[in-house]
């Protein structure tokens, strides 16, 4: 029993960390374009999705596994606005604002991060409940960048049953983004579900950090809504990209799908209707 209890604790900690990484910080990273010596402001929203009050402790740090990106100076590359720590009640949200300074010699991607340590209020001795990072990227502006994306293999279906999803009630959206331009892009996507002229839920999609020219990236998301009445629904897919080239772009496409019990049929026919049997 002790072994099972310890394993359950580890499992719950893993789920907690995954939940904070995927849901509690929006967006998951910041990208800014500019030239040497420029400054830019950014922000992200932190939401307490744990069932009790927490304290969030912020600090500027390096970004592990940043690839070929140049590390931003900790003292001047990123600075935080406001207090470095704050408390959040259950379900409460707070915006974190920051300023970035582009390096004097700026010819390639630079990166840094803001760390978030999530603790029980007043507990400074125990290890944090969650340690996570908000990545910050600085991209040299390319005025000749051609920015264009397209969607491939869109799929809207009921999610199969898992340990977290019981029964085919939640809706899963998955698709492939293709970069048709000549510069790397990092699209941020969302899907607005509508039924009977009313918005049911807005789902934020997750995917890879950046897509190189000619490359593809798989993105997906799972709704929290579990009640989907029979009839015609809309899924409006929107991607924003290109901000760090100072060429803000927006890609929009609406898919229409029909729900009939546990079957979803999608138009146009690029998405195959699927029937999912709970495992």
**Which is it for the CA torsion 228, 231, 234, 235, positive or negative?**
positive
Are 73 and 134 part of one and the same domain? yes
Are 46 and 107 part of one and the same domain? yes
Work out how many domains the chain is built from and give that number: 2
Place of tokens 């049997």: 277
Q: How far apart are CA 40 and CA 142, in angstroms?
A: 17
Q: How far apart are CA 202 and CA 253, in angstroms?
A: 15
pLDDT score recorded for residue 110: 92
Q: How far apart are CA 201 and CA 171, in angstroms?
A: 11
Q: How far apart are CA 95 and CA 76, in angstroms?
A: 21
**Is 239 a member of any domain?**
yes
**Is 8 a member of any domain?**
no
Per-residue pLDDT 10s for the chain (279 aa) are 444 443 433 334 444 444 554 568 988 889 898 989 899 999 999 999 888 899 999 999 999 988 778 899 888 899 999 899 999 999 999 999 999 999 988 888 899 999 999 999 988 888 888 899 999 999 888 878 899 999 887 888 887 655 555 555 788 899 899 999 998 898 989 999 999 989 999 998 877 678 999 999 999 988 989 888 998 899 999 999 988 888 889 999 888 888 887 777 776 443 443 333 332
The CATH number of the domain holding residue 89 is 2.60.40.2310
Place of tokens 């990208």: 31
Place of tokens 């010699």: 105
Are 160 and 264 part of one and the same domain? yes
Residue where a domain terminates, one of 115, 140, 165: 140
Are 111 and 209 part of one and the same domain? no
pLDDT score recorded for residue 27: 85
Cis peptide, bond prior to residue 2, ω within 30 of zero: no
pLDDT score recorded for residue 46: 94
Are 176 and 269 part of one and the same domain? yes
């Amino acid at each position: 029993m002790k072994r099972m209890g310890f394993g359950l604790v580890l499992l719950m900690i893993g789920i907690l960390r995954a939940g904070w990484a995927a849901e509690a910080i929006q967006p998951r990273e910041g990208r800014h374009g500019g030239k040497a010596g420029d400054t830019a402001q950014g922000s992200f929203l932190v939401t307490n999705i744990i069932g009790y009050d927490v304290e969030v402790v912020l600090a500027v740090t390096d970004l592990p596994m940043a690839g070929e990106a140049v590390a931003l100076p900790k003292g001047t590359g990123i600075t935080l606005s406001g207090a470095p720590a704050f408390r959040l009640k259950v379900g409460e949200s707070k915006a974190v604002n920051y300023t970035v300074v582009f390096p004097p010699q700026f010819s390639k991607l630079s990166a840094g991060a803001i760390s978030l340590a999530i603790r029980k209020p007043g507990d400074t001795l125990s290890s944090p409940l969650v340690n996570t990072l908000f990545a910050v990227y600085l991209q040299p502006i390319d005025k000749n960048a051609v920015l264009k994306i397209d969607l491939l293999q869109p799929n809207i279906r009921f999610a199969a049953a898992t340990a977290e999803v019981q029964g085919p009630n939640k809706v899963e959206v998955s698709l492939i983004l293709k970069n048709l331009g000549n510069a790397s892009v990092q699209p941020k996507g969302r899907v607005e579900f509508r039924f009977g002229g009313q918005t049911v839920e807005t789902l934020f999609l997750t995917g890879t950090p950046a897509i190189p020219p000619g490359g593809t990236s798989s993105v997906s998301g799972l709704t929290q809504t579990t009640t989907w009445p029979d009839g015609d629904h809309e899924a409006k897919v929107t991607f924003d990209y290109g901000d760090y080239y100072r060429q803000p772009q927006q890609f929009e496409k609406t898919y229409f799908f029909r729900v009939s019990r546990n079957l979803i049929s999608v138009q146009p026919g690029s998405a195959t209707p699927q029937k999912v049997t709970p495992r």
